[in-house]
Amino acid sequence: MKPVIIISTYPNKKSISKIAHDLIKSKTIACVNISKISSIYSWNDKIENTSEYLAIFKTISKNKTLLKKQIKETHPYDVPEIAEVDITSINKPYLDWLIESTN
């Protein structure tokens, strides 16, 4: 099984917490890291500087399509970030845990 990381940003912790719990409960993901960040970006011809929450979803390749679909369907943004990170190396004990947690 190949590990997959999907990254997205959310406007507040509440908006990510619900989906995080549901995805872990359904074993779609093994883990999600949530961190408060500052984001500077262009939106509607204005430069925005806002606080957001970065979500780093950890799963395996067989679940990535479902994960992306669920993020898109539940995300509060009109244009959510759903970025897949290609993992070329991961330590074996962590990979074993990831696979066990998503099966």
pLDDT in tens, 48-86: 999 999 999 999 999 999 999 999 999 999 999 999 998
Distance from first CA to last CA of the chain, Å, rounded? 11
CATH number, domain of 32, equals 3.30.70.120
Could you tell me if 95 and 5 are in contact, meaning their C-beta atoms sit under 8 angstroms apart? no
Number of structural domains (the chain) is 1
Instruction: Give the range of the structural domain holding residue 60, as residue numbers without chain letter.
Output: 3-101
| CA dist., res. 11 & res. 8, Å (int) | 10
State the Cα torsion 3-55-48-15 to the nearest 10°. Answer: 140
Q: What 3-state class would DSSP assign to 53? A: strand
| CA dist., res. 99 & res. 18, Å (int) | 22
1-38 tens-digit pLDDT: 899 999 999 999 999 999 999 999 999 999 999 999 99
